[in-house]
Amino acid sequence: MEAEYMAISDASREAIARSQFFQELSIPSTPVLILSDSETALELANGMAANHRKAKHIDIRYHAIRHFIQEEKVQVHHISTEYQIADIFTKALGPQKHQRFVEQMGMRNIHELQ
């Protein structure tokens, strides 16, 4: 839960920095949507976690995500592990799931194109 929570917070800071850059270039931006498969981390980010004692050791800078959510700069939503495309980079997947995620990312085998 801690690692997922910190990752959500880091991703939100990066996304907000990019949104601010886009604003400087007069490119319209919308609130950033961050998806996570950790329901506990999402509850903590949304301030709904029943047991905050597990998060007391987390550095205060990571709790900025709560502020970003309240200001509606960031939206965080749950995504089922079944649809978490990022798993292709972090987990050993079966061949069907791997192929499905590769296709969802729009990647192709260069050898099949020739």
pLDDT of residue 21: 92
Q: Is the pLDDT of residue 87 over 60?
A: yes
Tell me the sheet residues that pair with 35. Answer: 77
User: What is the pLDDT averaged over residues 79-89?
Assistant: 83
Alpha carbons 89 and 95: distance in angstroms, whole number: 14
Alpha carbons 53 and 42: distance in angstroms, whole number: 16
Alpha carbons 114 and 32: distance in angstroms, whole number: 38
Token pair of 82, please?
């079944």
Q: How confident is the model at residue 114 (pLDDT cuts 50, 70, 90)?
A: low
Three-class SS of residue 114? coil
pLDDT of residue 51: 54
Three-class SS of residue 14? helix
User: What is the pLDDT averaged over residues 6-27?
Assistant: 90
pLDDT of residue 66: 86
pLDDT tens column, 24-34: 999 887 888 88
Q: What residue segments make up the domains of the chain, in order of their start?
A: 1-79, 81-114
Regarding pTM above 0.85, the answer is no
